[in-house]
Structure 1
């Protein structure tokens, strides 16, 4: 079956359900109607019998010629008519003996449930030749009036009435179903079809902005669905364009990765010769330069096609955190920076259990962000620009804070602060630094967050301590 097609559409289902519900309602209405028709039919016969009794009372000697009695009974449609007037019973019958009846119907005190039951019995029971006895309330001075009639005419009349009801019900059902179908198709089914068609068109080409739905001005749930779908499609289209750009960027990175790794390896070999120099300052920086080049080579080897690194599982070991912070400060040239005051408040005895290479990258990214913000805006209220790194053990976890007194993080950047290409806090930045730092911290089982601060920005890194089993 072709995609998007179903055996029975929503419109057809609604039409069939409407017809079924209307027919069900007509059935519920039919039963009281046919019972009422039966009652009225019998009351009409009783009224005609009452007239016949009055004629009989006005006749001389309360007797009529046999031919007149036959015409009266034929007009009533009864075999016999009886009434009690003033304690005396009047009988009008062509038979000397009253016929045997199949059932007695007393309309004087019959309930609706009894009437419904007897009406259904007449319709469903097989026809028979035996008459029925009907008793009803009389008019004038008579106590009651009763007749003996054949049931077949009543059954035929009820069947004709039922056929008419069925025909009218079908017409009402078709008309009602048609009107409901048109209304629902205009108000619900049509817009839902447009939503479904738009979703399938957008699925075929999600990066095409012309496939994004144009919401209508409806204020109901369908209008809300259209607006929500439009927002989702715009967000998804933007994400897909970003991922496509990243894929293209990753392809370009993968092409240059091999050559870059070779150049870094060559630089590392040449840097090895700096160890033998007589310059004390160069000899002090040479091991760190060689280690940095080694990390860069490993980083290039781990570069993926999407332009970012697939980070390895951290190799945890105990390190002196203060020394690691000092090394990153030297990498950024903070000791020689006269425009910025750097304070390393990490206790010398504090030992951190982490991957030193990955934690060095976390510190470097956080500290570089602060340096860039301070270099661009300076300290708060024209004070001396200051970068501070603190750390402490609290409740078995390591809490590290990198803070500055710069302009702080803009409000617009806080929502996507740790997302690549979306959380940049500097003009023209990519936001990769914070994204990489967040990923490395998560690999350690920790958490990174921006703490509220009245001055500057404070980034807090929380790393878990040792597990109870010593791991």
Structure 2
């Protein structure tokens, strides 16, 4: 039970519930302060109104004098210690009973003029009053709510007002907490129904599809909703369907590849034997015409052996696992140039800003493949340019030859196995393997341009951090 509660506390619904309650409480707090400030203002205005009405009894007496018991009743009704009122053109009215002098009047005094206090001052005074612990009397001055021509001054104890303010604040907080819980629960249920449940359905579909991607029943069926969740379900359905078809096609290709590997292995032995017999026939033939025919047969058999060897190696070779180290590209280029002999003239220009993070053997294989393709295409000059890429965390190696360029059909399928060869008898595996080697170490190999003046490839390798 405790474990399930702990998991629920870390779940998305629990966080949504807590955040909703928090935000609603924050909104209620923002409402609480002005509410308490307004309550305090209403309380003080009521005291001014009561004081004005009490002072009207003084004005009603011809001599302006009241007996002590009546004064005490009026002051008690107004909740005041003393009161004074001024009206233009009339004498001031006051209730200051002599018996109030020996009263225990609070020693701390504060004065508030309601005519001058703004909205923020009223809220600040109310909040400060809620936390005060002093038993003090306050003097309040303001226009009478009964007659705005009359200015009233009241001296009254603050404790009764604070008690009512605190009781009012507690009622507001309790009501706010209740509203927060109800609102949070409603929002939680809404989000659970509209968002969390669909997300759980998407997650469950992903897990089920991962366990058995070949099972068509594991593909999610989009709901009839018209919102973003339905779009996500439709996208997931499309992705799962395409992935299922791709995996099925990959399985078929893998089966074909295993069959081709076996056939290529047996065919390689047969072709090797035929090549040896062709060599013996050529060596024993005295007729020049027979020799020419056997030489043609030998070349055809050599191409067949090369094709079957490449196919067998491509079918059985595992994905490359690079050994990434800091590499300086210039020495690698010199090493490849030396290995190409005199058939191809190399021109190496430029320099990168520093070493790259790559597999030296993979870089050698990529560059050797590009140089060999240029030689087979009839190029005589290979220009290799080292430069910084964009963005700057990449280094670029541009390999350009002066050959006749690639035909359009070869450019369309340049990196597709068995489809991108530009010469008769080619396997079309060199560039796909080279791109796979580049991508295995976080780089890229792409065709930069190809035309009558030659072909250029660009190899991008991440720079050493």
User: TM-score w.r.t. structure 2 length?
Assistant: 0.68
Match of residue 157 from structure 1: 164
Please, which of 240, 249, 262 is the counterpart of residue 242 of structure 1?
249
Residue 274 (structure 2) aligns with: 267
Between the aligned partners of 2:50 and 2:319, the Cα distance in structure 1 is 103
Counterpart check, 1:52 vs 2:62: no
Among 439, 447, 459, the alignment partner of 2:432 is 439
Q: What stretches of structure 2 of length at least 5 have no aligned partner? A: 321-335, 345-369, 378-399, 438-444, 458-465
Q: 1:399 aligns with which of 373, 398, 404?
A: 404
Deviation string 1:330-359 (CA, Å, 9 cap, x unpaired) is: xxxxxxxxxxxxxxxxxxxxxxx9538994
Residue 28 of structure 1 and its aligned partner are, at CA, apart by 0.7
Q: Please point out which of 272, 276, 297 is paired with 1:289.
A: 297
Distance 1:14 1:237, change over 3 A: same
Aligned counterpart, 1:93: 96
3-state secondary structure, aligned to 1:62 = coil
1:63 corresponds in structure 2 to: 65
Contact 1:106 1:134 (8 Å CA) reproduced: yes
CA contact (8 A) 1:132 1:148 kept: yes
**Corresponding residue for 1:178?**
185
C-alpha separation between the residues in 1 aligned to 2:279 and 2:315? 30
List runs of 5+ in structure 1 lacking aligned partners. Answer: 321-352, 361-394, 404-408, 425-431, 452-459, 466-471
Instruction: Provide the residue aligned with 2:141 in structure 1.
Output: 135
Q: 1:25 to 1:289 in 2, by over 3 A?
A: same
CA distance in 1, matches of 2:25, 2:285: 102
State the structure with bigger RCO (CA 8 A, min sep 6), 1 or 2: 2
Aligned pair partner of 1:114 in 106, 116, 121: 121
Matches of 1:309 and 1:287 in 2, distance apart? Answer: 32
1:190 matched to 2:197? The reply is yes
Structure-1-length-normalised TM-score: 0.67
CA distance in 2, matches of 1:202, 1:242: 17
The 1:448–1:164 alpha-carbon spacing in structure 2 relative to 1, beyond 3 Å, is closer
Structure 1 residues 440 and 59, CA, compared in 2 at 3 Å: closer, same or farther?
A: closer
Q: CA separation in 2, counterparts of 1:317 and 1:144?
A: 111
Deviation per CA, 1:288-312, whole angstroms, max 9, x where unpaired? 4323433443444454587377999
Structure showing greater radius of gyration is: 1
Q: CA RMSD in A?
A: 4.1
Instruction: Report if aligned partners of 2:311, 2:427 keep a CA contact under 8 Å in 1.
Output: no
Distance 1:235 1:437 in 2: 28
SS of 2:225's partner is coil
- Check 1:441–1:281 CA distance in 2 against 1; reply closer, same or farther (3 A cut): farther
The match for 1:340 is none
